[in-house]
């Protein structure tokens, strides 16, 4: 019979704490940047925001969140889309992605506690399965929430996604093209103006959040496979 604590897992607590802290910082910073975007395009169009030359048009940038007003000889970015806040947002995002992916890859590995030094803690197969299952549940839930927020109108009616959820009468916008990965569509209004169904940042987030969920799923599948192999190898079928 396999002995308890005959296996090991990497210490990932610090990585998860750093990922959580950086995530909170990115959320708060993005909220400040989004606040700075309010009516910034209208202010540019009305001449309240001065730029180099004549105002041409405005566009939204996914990350860091910002409205970019383009002029004949350059562009002006909304507060929060540049400067210190922009640097902090990029730094927070890099820390978040690095810690999250490193922790999830570590959960997929099966280190020997006798050779791992301080980086490895003794852990039974059952404990490893519970830990990877928790990571898979959290990352999978985050992916489903993000994807549902961006794609629910597409699933409700792909060809009429732009008109879903509102009473447009006879002036409903048309859905010219759509796709589910990323969840996006092009909406054309009666004036001829076209806009994306979802903000670029939301479509990108809904797609990219599948990566940590997939890594966590691989770690959970490996832990479940190792747990099942151990139980089969145990004479009584009760190996830990």
DSSP string spanning 139-208?
Answer: HHHHHHHHHHHHHHHHHH-GGGGGGTTS--TT-PPEEEEEEETTEEEEEE-TTS-EEESS-HHHHHHHHH
**Number of structural domains, the chain?**
2
Is residue 129 located within the same domain as residue 148?
yes
Domain range spanning residue 95?
1-123
Per residue in 125-174, pLDDT tens? 888 899 899 999 999 999 999 999 989 988 888 888 888 876 666 677 88
Confidence class for position 240, pLDDT limits 50, 70, 90: very low
pLDDT band at 235; cut points 50, 70, 90:
low
Which segment of 72-81, 126-135, 166-175, 216-225 scores lowest on mean pLDDT? 166-175
Select from 173, 206, 207 the least CA-distant residue to 189: 173
Same domain, 85 and 186: no
Residue 178 shares a structural domain with residue 93: no
Classify residue 39 by its DSSP letter: T
- Do 119 and 131 share a structural domain? no
Q: What is the pLDDT of residue 5?
A: 52
Q: 128 with 118, same domain?
A: no
Looking at the fold, whether 128 and 86 belong to one and the same domain comes out as no
The whole model's pTM is what? 0.76
Query: Do 112 and 185 have their domain in common?
Result: no
Are both 149 and 80 inside the same structural domain? no
Same domain, 23 and 138: no
**pLDDT number for residue 239:** 44
Q: Which range, 24-38, 42-56, 188-202, 212-226, is most confident? A: 212-226
Q: What is the pLDDT of residue 216?
A: 92
What is the rounded distance in angstroms from the CA atom of residue 201 to the CA atom of residue 198?
A: 8
- Chain centre to alpha carbon of residue 132: 19
Is the same domain home to 212 and 200? Answer: yes
- In this predicted structure, what is the pLDDT of residue 92? 92
């Amino acid at each position: 019979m396999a002995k308890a604590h005959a296996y090991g897992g990497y210490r990932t607590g610090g990585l998860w704490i750093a990922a959580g802290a950086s995530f909170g910082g990115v959320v708060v910073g993005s909220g400040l940047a989004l606040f700075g975007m309010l009516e910034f395009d209208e202010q540019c169009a009305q001449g309240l925001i001065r730029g180099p030359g004549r105002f041409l048009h405005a566009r939204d940038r996914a990350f860091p969140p910002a409205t970019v007003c383009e002029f004949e000889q350059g562009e002006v970015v909304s507060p929060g889309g540049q400067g210190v806040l922009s640097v902090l947002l990029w730094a927070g995002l890099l820390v978040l992605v690095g810690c999250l992916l490193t922790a999830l890859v570590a959960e997929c590995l099966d280190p020997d506690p006798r050779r791992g030094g301080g980086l490895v803690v003794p852990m039974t197969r059952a404990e490893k399965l519970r830990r990877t299952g928790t990571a898979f549940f959290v990352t999978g839930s985050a992916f489903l929430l993000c994807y549902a927020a961006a794609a629910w109108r597409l699933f409700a009616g792909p060809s009429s996604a732009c008109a879903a959820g509102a009473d447009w009468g006879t002036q409903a916008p048309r859905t010219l093209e759509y796709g589910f990965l990323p969840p996006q569509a092009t909406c054309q209004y009666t004036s001829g103006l076209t806009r994306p169904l979802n903000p670029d940042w939301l479509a990108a987030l809904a797609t990219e959040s599948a990566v940590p969920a997939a890594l966590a799923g691989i770690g959970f599948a490996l832990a479940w496979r190792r747990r099942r192999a151990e139980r089969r190898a145990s004479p009584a079928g009760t190996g830990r």
